[in-house]
Amino acid sequence: MNVRSIVLFAFASGLLVTSAPIFAHHGFAAYDTTKVTTVKGTVTDFQFINPHVEIYLDVEGADGKVQKWVAEGVSVGNMARGGWTKNTLKAGDRITVVGNAAKNGSHAMTFSKIVTAGGKTLAIERANDYAN
């Protein structure tokens, strides 16, 4: 093997190794797309960052105890095209989240729509959106 072949092989191998996380993306397989879930709660944190925007909220359970939920959206770019910004939600906001809950029963979901306390609907579009 000549030096050029070795360099080309090393470059291709490095590219393959560094791109592996892209192929490992989980998508929305962890969520129950056969039914729509709605929760109401208070925003504790809003992370407008990639790879997925996340909303953390406190939800009062049927037993009166506070449950910590996380609602996962799509990428910042997709949400920004829909008018979302890092200031769209803030801690203390009361919201209703509509989407698909985690299959494993944890307090996690992927969301397709947020309704503010004032009645404003903030929707997102996903290619694989099963929630109404």
Please name each of the domains of the chain with its CATH number.
Answer: 37-123 (2.40.50.1010)
Encode pLDDT of 40-70 as tens digits: 999 999 999 999 999 999 999 889 999 999 9
Please tell me the pTM assigned to this model: 0.75
Q: Name the residue with higher pLDDT: 25 or 95.
A: 95
User: Which is nearest to 42 in space by CA: 88, 87, 95?
Assistant: 95
pLDDT of residue 9: 59
